[in-house]
Amino acid sequence: MAENQLGGQQVVLLPEGASRLLGRDAQRTNIAVAVAVAGAVKTTLGPKGMDKMMVSDLGDVVITNDGATILQEMNVEHPVAKIMVNIAKTQDKEVGDGTTSVVILAGELLKGAGDLLDQGIHPTTVIKGYKMAATRASEVLEEFAKKVSISDEPTLEKIAMVSMGSKNVGDEKTKSELGKMVIKAVKQVMEKDASGKTIVDHDFIKVEKKAGGNVSDTAFISGVLVDKEITHPGMPKSMANAKIALLDVALEMEKTETDARIEITSPEQMQAFLKQEESILKGMADKIRKSGATVIFTQKGIDDVAQHFLAKAGIMAVRRVKKSDIEKLSRATKAKIVTSLDDLGSDDLGHAGLVEERKISGEQMIFVERCKDPKSVTIFVRGGNEQVVDEAERSITDVIGAVTSAVVNGKYVTGGGSIEIDLANELRSYAGNVGGREQLAIQKFADALEAIPKTLSESAGMDAIDTLVQLRSRHKSKGGEVYGVDIFKNSVGDMNKNGVFEPLMVKRQAIDSASEAAEIILRIDDIISSRGKSKGGGMPPGGMGGGMGGDME
């Protein structure tokens, strides 16, 4: 129970079992938590980064080195840990890649801020310095950036390879093929808006996964893969040059919404009723046949009798298709989604070179492929087991984000920690010009940025201090700004020559998100938790609770 003394009188503020942390204690705890979260994902950075195995309460196993996935699966409890998880989620949603980098950067910024607070510098001074540093870093990023377009496939392939570098998804040849598939997919679905700006909607690049085979069996489909089966065994299993109708109509007798009663008093009436019902369903099937459709996909159900008439007409039908899949089919086949059979005509139909039901790993799936200029495509991911196929899917999603970011923004920078060294050098020069106590915060921001090349070298088993010294020395010489950590040769190398490129948007988003998260956390000087101990899970003063206890450093 938290209490205050007022004129000798005891004032009760909080309920029994509540906890409160004030001033530096609150700041120290928050910084320790953030550093622990960063420490949990630090070893996953780079092509030689390690994986984490996450086991849930139910025994589900996830093996990954994707920063956002690790933090989500960890089920952290401390509010500051949740802020760190949220910045990884934001990075994932906005640019699709760089989730580990943003968490490491935020952790290092807070670690540096902790040193400054210990020296008696006020948090608002540190925050002001960090804001200035983030703004300057964004400007410098633009200066160092180079242009790239969708037609520059060699550069985009290198960006894709770097994004996939840390993922355990097959050999270099397989990764190269996956990168090419993603570039092809992005190229296919990208559009220009009214102002001429490039737009890529990730939702129209469907990533469908199925355990079985090998990662190298992953395929690009010029159309949509629907995880359903054909409704009737008498229907054709394959249809070349298919004319496709997309329906939001139930091909069955609708139940009335108001209470209705039908009285049947003789077998003849029953027979007439059933005949009438059959006639209505036959009429529905006839309308579809007359439109010229050879394949139908509907969001709703198809009655057994209607299935029979469609099968007799040689029409392939699929029912209860997800709305999102219907929209993708519409973009891929150019078919219009029809909500009334009376309106269905030949001009509403879409086209696909082939619609076929195939058995994949014991389950039926429908391939709608060979579409002409589809604006929705599918990457069908395969893998030896569930863990492999899940990681391959995460990897492809990251690459889609990286390639999209590069194409939409049209700029990239060199990777391998080279751009971070450039930014750090520029910020140190900038700090000298700024003066005042803020310059100390700007210098700490520069130190935090160097955590990226430092972590990359540690992952490769190199000496981190020697590597940083070499990089700083190289970057001072003319033309040395492209030197970074060469993971595979365990040395400092030319990232331009090695083709280690990263999208500008990924770097900028990481810097903005990490600095904003650090600023939010540094502003907190009082933690009041009114969750009673008896209810379980009260926030411990020095730890995070949940699954993070073992990661405190």
Active site residues: 66, 99-100, 398
Tokens 């299993």 belong to residue: 237
Helices (H) then strands (E): counts for the chain: 17, 23
In terms of residues, how long is the chain? 553
Burial class of residue 429 in the structure, from the number of CB atoms within 10 Å of its CB (0-12 exposed, 13-18 middle, 19+ buried)? exposed
Query: Helix, strand or coil for residue 295?
Result: strand
Please check whether residue 442 is in contact with residue 391, taking contact to mean a CB–CB distance below 8 angstroms: no
Written as six digits, the tokens of 353 are: 């070179």
Query: Which DSSP string corresponds to 38-95?
Result: HHHHHTT-STTPPPEEEE-TT--EEEE--HHHHHHHHT--SHHHHHHHHHHHHHHHHT
Q: How far is CA 514 from CA 101, 244, 267, 510, in A?
A: 9, 48, 76, 6
- The amino acid sitting at 347 is D
Distance CA 256, CA 382 (A): 45
Q: How far is CA 324 from CA 94, 105, 194, 328, 380, in A?
A: 21, 36, 25, 6, 17
Torsion angles phi and psi, residue 401, rounded to 5: -65, -45
Other C-beta atoms closer than 10 Å to the C-beta of 241 total 11
Residue of 76, 103, 66, 68 whose CA lies nearest to 510: 103
Distance CA 484, CA 465 (A): 14
- Report the phi/psi class of residue 186: left, alpha or beta, with left for phi > 0 and alpha for psi in -120 to 50: alpha
Distance CA 344, CA 188 (A): 28
Distance CA 112, CA 108 (A): 6
- Report the phi/psi class of residue 132: left, alpha or beta, with left for phi > 0 and alpha for psi in -120 to 50: alpha
Sign of CA dihedral 399, 400, 405, 407: positive
